[in-house]
Copies of this chain bind each other. A is one copy, B any other.
Amino acid sequence: MTASTRIILLAHGSSDRRWCQTFEQLAAPTVESIDNAVVCYMELSEPSLDQVIASSVAEGFRDFRILPLFLAVGRHLRKDVPAMITDLEARHGVSIALLPPVGEDPKLGLAIRDVARGILESDQ
């Protein structure tokens, strides 16, 4: 990781604007507190991963970490995104690391527990 590393929060994308708004809210604490963090979409929504890589390269970034805003690994993260990364690295001469999806981090399970506890407390 160097000063020119960009962290990309990658969501699936949807034609439903409300779906994207939820992801923008999910990404907001990260984007607001971490320099060089951005959110983008695999398909159907903008900015796309392709757009973010292109504009970041124009800004001088050469090193990227993709943190998928997915709960688990499915076909997209096993096949589609790695193929997109191979193509983007070749076209832009950059390095892109694909991290495990956020759902594999134990912090998410603890947050879900806290959400469930909040439901119990609000009912009492």
Contacts and interface: CB of A to CB of B under 8 A. Distances in A.
Interface residues of A, number: 51
Contacts of A1: 120, 123-124
Interface of chain A, main secondary structure:
helix
Interface in A72-124: 72-74, 99, 101-120, 123-124
Nearest to A1: B123
Interface string A12-43: 00101011001101111110011001000000
A27 B109 contact: yes
Contacts of A104: 22, 25
A111 B110 contact: yes
Contact of A112 (B29, B65, B73, B119): B29
